[in-house]
Structure 1
């Protein structure tokens, strides 16, 4: 292979690796705001109704950490890899009117629970065969051993938060 061909191939592989790494480490998917329209009901009922809005998450699957070959094992480590999924917890924003006892004005009571990042890893599986690798002591034949099976536990990471507010005006 010519040196120019090797150089071109190295540049292409570097660009592909950089693009894959950038896609894997991108920020978690944002939540899409969804308002609940209650203006028509306010007009029909002749009263103030709460203002409600939600934030719905859009999950984004990540790149799994593939199997790793380990010396001394016939099957690779992490036979069934864990799949990372980044998303957000659903959020909500509710503002309800509170009538004042004296007067015609309104105060408000609000609850804001913004969408918070959510990182998860699906369960995985780690399996090893009931045989060892080829052995010099047995003329290249594998030795029997106990099979190994392990379940990689799922992971969930998040930090939700909420805010309760009461104040004048709607």
Structure 2
């Protein structure tokens, strides 16, 4: 086998290995939430009593597309000097179920709280500034005109719709 053929074959094998590695890593990074379980089986077995079951979800924050500075005609500085950074993720979720003693009578054997992870969209605050110098004025021999300086704080944004369900009933 020639030297150039071996090099080509090695390059192709390296590319295939990289593609397979990227495909194997993609499902791990595509998850929106990470499940969290609290193991209480050992406590239940050692103490001989029913323990609550506790599980949760922890969302992963994902940065969005940055809307950078915009240059506008007639301004010395860009419109958004400090741009707003969008983030998306969620609020953590929880699923808690605990057994109840027979204090409340028949039909009330457990108490449960279910609060699934809720979507969250946020924008960080931003700043927009403009200098007190205007555009060059041809009537003033090319010197810029003066104007009032401008400063604005772009307000942050937080959007979410949390949901929770509290229940009491029979069964475990």
Judge same fold: TM > 0.5, yes or no: yes
Partner SS, residue 46 of structure 2 = helix
The answer to which structure has the higher helix fraction is 2
Question: Which residue is equivalent to 2:46?
Answer: 44
Instruction: For structure 2, list consecutive stretches of 5 or more residues without a partner in the other structure.
Output: 1-29
Report the CA distance shift for 1:29/1:116 in structure 2 as closer, same or farther (over 3 A).
farther
**Over residues 122-150 of structure 1, what are the superposed CA-to-partner deviations in whole Å (9 max), with x where a residue is unaligned?**
11010101100111221221012221111
Question: Which residue is equivalent to 1:114?
Answer: 116
Task: Give the paired residue count.
Answer: 143
Query: What are the residue-to-residue correspondences of 1:88-167 with 2, within 5 Å?
Result: 88-100=90-102, 107-167=109-169
Native 8 Å contact 2:64 2:85 kept in 1:
yes
Tell me the CA shift for residue 35 of structure 1.
0.6
Native 8 Å contact 2:94 2:117 kept in 1:
yes
Tell me the CA shift for residue 101 of structure 1.
5.2
The TM-score normalised by the length of structure 1 is 0.78
Instruction: For structure 1, list consecutive stretches of 5 or more residues without a partner in the other structure.
Output: 1-27
Question: Which residue is equivalent to 1:59?
Answer: 61
Query: What are the residue-to-residue correspondences of 1:15-26 with 2, within 5 Å?
Result: none
Deviates more, 1:111-120 or 1:66-75: 66-75
Dislocated runs of 4+, deviation >2 Å: 99-103
Tell me the CA shift for residue 102 of structure 1.
9.9
The TM-score normalised by the length of structure 2 is 0.77
Native 8 Å contact 2:108 2:168 kept in 1:
no
